[in-house]
Homo-oligomer: A and B are copies of this chain.
Amino acid sequence: MNQIKLYDTTLRDGTQAEEVSFLVADKIRIAQLLDDLGIHYIEGGWPGSNPKDIAFFKDIKKVTLKQAKIAAFGSTRRANTTPDKDNNIRTLVQAEPDTVTIFGKTWDFHVHEALRISLEENLELIYDSLAYLKQHVGEVVYDAEHFFDGYKANPEYALKTLQAAQQAGADCIVLCDTNGGTLPHELPAIIEQVKQTVATPLGIHTHNDGECAVANSLIAVAHGIVHVQGTINGFGERCGNANLCSIIPALQLKMGKNCVGEGQLKSLRQLSRTIYELANMVPNKHQAYVGNSAFAHKGGVHVSAIQRHPETYEHIRPELVGNCTRVLVSDLSGRSNILAKAEEFNINLDSKDPVTLEILENIKDLENKGFQFEGAEASFELLMRRALGTLRNYFSVIGFRVIDTKRHEDEKPVSEATVQVKVGGRIEHTAAEGNGPVNALDNALRKALENFYPRLKEIRLYDYKVRVLPAGKGTASFTRVLIESGDKESRWGTVGVSDNIIDASYHALVDALQYKLLKDQDN
């Protein structure tokens, strides 16, 4: 039993987090990334609850996934109906997922208080719903809601609900710690008892209300559970779900379980950061395994020790999850990062070249100001090429003016930009309108430059994100703008940081245009 099945619910339970809200396009992209990581099941949503989730199940069919199965989530049928007439159950079948997961009540208190039916009726709900779904969908997972609380209140009845699920043909029975308050030392005895009662493969679904979600999941695996549910970065309602970014490396590197491939594990940090980015959230620096500080050492005794033997103060090799050791006073790790990046961009850089050091200094300076090159690799490449003197001077902007005017109380503001650009010896002075100052500026810049570079017409602005960076003690706060642009062939990210949002946007826009010109020149 060394194979553990990973079941990701970032797209369903993860979106219950207070600030997390994904568009359908985001959800499709995340599903592809989860598939790349090697996740076995991707829970896409609850099609019965909202139209956005129905759209996801439709759109995901157009995407070819490597191995992940798409799961739809729902509940047992309502009382006083049959599964084939239950709207929720029908919507699940209509979504045509690979797998259906439904939850049912385990805790007698919930049966009485929430469903207001008899304990016997609840067993019928579970049995009927699963048996019907098993006939109409390939694979059926049963989430035993509040399993641990239910077991503690009435163990006999809790086990009966699992037996009903087993009899109905559930392919996996998942023990859920729905309220997230179960303590780690309570799990072993309960799980051992369950194993004596049902033979169906078991899963675990935990929440982090006691800050024990990861530990509880790992303990469950140590006691023979073979299916683990969680979310990337632990996104989820209240204190979050079990964090797969911590569970996967523990299973794989420490417990000898097979989950994902070695190469896939190395993409864990990148995936974690992309999901934060798509949710427009600041990554948690101190996050286990994948955080920026997870392998950061503050100098002194630890530093000299880890340089000789990393295992003295590091529980795993950070490279295994795509992270790296950071020595907060040293530039050693920085330089190797830059060399690796240069190689990625086919830029010839020597570790002893003074330019390498210059780029490093430049980056440190920019990072102190709040630059963030993840998600803005086009800006990073331009920066390297500028330092090396291999970037053509495609154009320069002499100046601009943007005016936003709102004339009446019920009128929307109008934004208009004028720009002066210089290309070669020629100056172009023009104007354009836009939806807001940045869009007007973008339009005017492109209008001015398209005469010289017609392919700039192909660019589209896909995303524009702004973040105010908290001020350090006694310093002004900075604004960071991340722009995602694209054309028919590819997408690229650029970044600008300034205490003025227009200035930051301007720099990110100019980088986006320059990168397009550089890219087309190379082709």
Contact = CB atoms under 8 A, between A and B. Distances in A.
A14 to B, nearest CB: 12
Interface in A297-344: 297-299, 301-302, 305, 308-309, 311-316, 328, 330-332
A288 interface: yes
A131 to B, nearest CB: 24
A10 interface: no
Contacts of A215: 183-184, 211-212, 214-216
B469 A466 contact: no
Given A18-B374, A291-B239, A506-B406, A435 B332 contact: no
Given A25-B470, A403-B401, A113 B309 contact: yes
Interface of A: 15-19, 21, 23, 25, 49-50, 52, 109-110, 113-114, 178-181, 183-185, 208-212, 214-216, 218-219, 222-223, 234, 237-240, 243, 246, 250, 254-255, 280, 282, 284-289, 291, 293-299, 301-302, 305, 308-309, 311-316, 328, 330-332, 372, 374-375, 396-409, 411-413, 415, 435-439, 461-470, 473, 476, 479, 498-504, 506
A241 to B, nearest CB: 10
B212 A280 contact: no
A365 to B, nearest CB: 13
A291 to B, nearest CB: 7
Contacts of A328: 18
Contacts of A179: 313-315
23 contacts: A16-B299, A18-B296, A110-B305, A113-B312, A114-B301, A178-B313, A179-B314, A183-B250, A183-B255, A184-B218, A208-B286, A214-B215, A234-B286, A237-B302, A280-B465, A397-B406, A399-B407, A399-B408, A400-B404, A402-B404, A412-B500, A463-B468, A464-B479
Contacts of A397: 406, 409
A210 B219 contact: no
Contacts of A409: 396-399
A7 to B, nearest CB: 18
A400 B404 CA distance: 8
Given A238-B295, A403-B403, A409-B398, A468 B464 contact: yes
Nearest to A313: B179
Interface hub of A184, A243, A461, A463 (most chain B Cβ within 10 A): A184
A476 B436 CA distance: 13
Given A473-B280, A501-B436, A238 B296 contact: yes
Contacts of A180: 315
Contact of A19 (B282, B375, B499): B375
Contacts of A438: 501
Contacts of A178: 313
A212 B208 contact: no
B404 A401 contact: yes
B467 A285 contact: no
B462 A465 contact: no
Nearest to A21: B372
Contact of A312 (B114, B223, B503): B114
Nearest to A298: B16
A293 B19 CA distance: 10
A216 B301 CA distance: 26
Nearest to A284: B284
Contact of A211 (B181, B246, B506): B246
A470 B23 contact: yes
A23 B288 CA distance: 28
Contacts of A309: 109, 113
Contacts of A239: 286-288, 291, 293-294
B184 A184 contact: yes
A274 B338 CA distance: 33
Contacts of A25: 470
Contacts of A499: 435
A140 to B, nearest CB: 21
B464 A465 contact: no
Given A185-B222, A415-B500, A402 B437 contact: yes
Nearest to A328: B18
B250 A413 contact: no
A23 to B, nearest CB: 6
A246 B255 CA distance: 26
A234 B214 CA distance: 16
Contacts of A288: 208-211, 239
B406 A401 contact: yes
A328 B325 CA distance: 39
